[in-house]
Structure 1
Amino acid sequence: MNLYSVLLVDDEEEVYSVIMKKLDWEAMGFRIAGYARNGVEALEMAEEIQPDVVMTDIKMPYMDGLTLSKKLKELYQKIKIIIFSGFDEFEYAKEAIKIEAEEYILKPINSNELREVFERIRTNLDRELDEKRNIEKLRAYYMESLPVLQENFYTSLIEGRIPASEIEKYLKQYQIPWSGPYYVATILHISTPDPQLELDPFLLGMSVKQLAEEQFVDKWRLNTFFYLGDILMITQLKETEEITAYTNAMDRFCKLAKRVCGAKVTAGIGPVCDEIAELPASYQGARNAVSYRVIYGNTRAINIAEIDPQGSAEEPWEEQSIGNILKKIKTGDEQALKEAVKESVTQLSGRGASLQKYQIFITELIAEIFRFGTLNGLNLDEIFSGTGDIYREVLQMESPEALENWLLKTGRQMQEIIQNGRQDTTKSFVTKAIEYVREHYADSGLNVESVCKNLSVSTAYFSTVFKKETGKTFINYLTEYRMEQALDLLLNQDEKTYVIAEKVGYSDPNYFSYAFKKQFGMSPSKYKAEKRK
């Protein structure tokens, strides 16, 4: 059974002891997650335990129950508040209504009345939980999300990440009515526009995509989406012979796009396939077709099956191999990198490559490493320090093993720099927070919200990262640091308690004494006397 958590707040210990004993909490569906002696302590505990219900007295030192309730409602909108008090005053009740407290109960608390209150709250909590799980709401949300889910499916499909056995399941789940029986992938590549025309590339792409959907919706069954900066189409054909008419239609569209949108579009058409699972190969063929624009020109359709029927669906292995190595570098998996490097070198030596092909491969490999390093902000001088002509050095290696060792060493260095960079980002984030505390701990208004505002991050993300790096919540760290400074003022500078309280960020000297005793087990004056014996 799901038990909802309760936090009890009262400065009189016997009160919450009685409350705890009055009821069979578990039978009612609740558990006592903790109790606090004042509002400040309760606020700190709420951050830790995230209670469903808070039952609080009004009159308490340091922070009263109404102020506590307001702050809790601001931080946790769904939290349920029960206020109990020995004061039958209209203003209190009115304030409780204003902050949307569930109940306002007068002391002494009757166990039957309290049971009824928690039963009502349990009903409300159950209803809210059920609403979250409500099938109709989930279905509505699912339908709203369907276009995004479909586009993610198309992307995963052409990347070859969906097993053939699961394709039918996703088509049904995402309501994609593909019946084929033939399929072809097409890439609409927009050449970089003339800078003088001041065209926004994204808006230009949207314009071309919209025009394509308008032109082909009646004649061809296709789905269009953006992928890696291009417009990708997955088209269904009834007969393989339709590819000729489709190619002609795409060629006419490229010229129309230039006239209507001012865009130079190349339509790369992959080979026709009779299985959805073969679309990744059709997509690779479409990519290769687009690359032929340097020979045939843009603003036209290029069908890979017409210009390169032998290699239409095969991406150059060098490009795949280099891309795989760089991907493993970025993921940080050393074993996967080792396997990718070994596979690449094995392919190179096993294909009977000529010296010219080997030189081309090395040239492309090093160029891609430098491009990858630049995009990821790596200092490549650090990796290749002491190296003269890196191209010459690698080209003159005398064995595949030497190339494999160099590649693996370079890849590991890049992995380490990337990983350290990620760790440094988190550490820098926490370091800034700690520095901020040390500069502003005397400010009584210092809290997690003010630190997050300074760092421009959400409180949820900040709290998670801070606790992960320091092992403490922000409130605990702040309190401990303030107490360290208080000790120095108390023992070494012989300051008065009320002066120390103000200097370390406590506007209420009494609460400072309370927090000090909680930290060190005795009052400031007694601690000082003990240390000077």
Structure 2
Amino acid sequence: MKKVFLVDDEAVIRRGIAQKIDWKKEGFIYCGDASDGEMALPLIEKHQPDIVITDIKMPFMDGLSLSKIIKEKMPHVKIIILSGHDEFEYARQAIRIQVEEYCLKPVSSQDLVSILRKVKAEMETTRKVFNSIETKEALYEQLCKGFLSTEEIIHQTKNLQVDLMASYYTVLVIERKSETIKQKLASYQPLLFEKDTKSVMILKHDLEHLLLKQIKEIKEIVTSHHQPLLFGLGSIETRTEHITLAYENALEAYSYNRAIQSYTFLQDHQDFHQELMQSFDRRKLIHFLKFGQLNQLDTFVQSYASFIYQKQEPSNVFLYYFLLDFTITLRHHLDETVQYDNRCKERIEPLENSIHQVRTKEEMIDLMKKMLHPLLVQHDYHSSKYGKVIQQVKKVVTSRFHDSSLSLQEIAKEVNISASYLSNIFSKEMEQTITEYLTKTRMEQAKILLQTTDQKTYEIAYKVGFNDSHYFCHTFKKLTGMTTKEYKNHIAETISATSFN
């Protein structure tokens, strides 16, 4: 039985809600009410309800202020806001506080019962999910592996009291050899778990330039060690559900780093190794090897080698080291990727063997272009394959947009491609992310339901894949510029204006 507490400054509404609902029959206990937030707070702390229903506009302490305090003190309590004000600012603040439902008055007892049932069902489902993850380390691993939906991430972080809120995320994978290094990295407050022979750290920050600064500092710490450690840094992502992409990229970078450090020549020149590791980002080359185009070749090579040009007179050994790193990365990519034929590899092999002959920056640039050229020709040849993948993604989204658990990771499984690779292909071909495409599809379906049915907003939200109706309202307003009510009125006016008597 879930306990419910009501806060509303109108006595007639409190009596009506209290008396018109058969609480016991519906599986609830009505544990009390109050006329404003100030009076309600001590009673809520005393009765410890599972669900609080509150009005927004009340004297002394309004519903939003009350909700914020409840979420801070008792994050497990679910909040349903009833408002007579159809204003987006109220809904926006409610979304920020993470209330469960935002409903406009008047609300019938039948509507309220439906909302309570829905919240109760979500709480029971959530409890099962909570029980499945018992430690913070297990949560971090599931985040990296992409096993959690956005809603699950929110609930799990609340349950385990993990602060995951940030604007930017990345992942560092580092070999577990030095406790000293790990202690130095602890100052960046990473979310850490151990996996086999590696330590995995999720890094986050609200400001991108400060996260980039941290990444630079971490690279210096790792590479300045007397024996440079194997590590891999992932991409910078802006969504918690995309931490898995950063993790995949970090593992990939780790694999490339291991291939390069296996060469004994490099081990004999650790000073060059440290300088190069701190000066350039190999991830840019890996990304270009995957997704670069022939018309981008000159620009990319000049950019990637720009720090060499900044050196006054780089030694021949330094140029050789840089080209060796470049060719090992390229060779590792060829060995790991199935799209290249033998002719491509045969064209590159003599070029690899000639890197010791390079003496100038200009010769270095020319050799890099010659080595990349056959790979980019292959890219153009295979680019037609992307169309089939895009169609598969669209088909999955069309058939499963109503499923709130549908995510990039799920779609990637359906089309049998890694999430990071699929994300890049789709963004490149469609000029939008898969998440943006899924959201737009859901909004188009919501428009159809708003035009053709009299269903409530929260019912439509559920049917198009949103478990959170106030987040649905926020997204709808953001994409259409109108609330759902305004949209329905707009459609009705349009139909009326075009009707013939």
TM norm structure 2: 0.30
**Higher RCO (C-alpha under 8 Å, 6+ residues apart):** 2
In terms of Rg, which structure is larger?
1
TM norm structure 1: 0.29
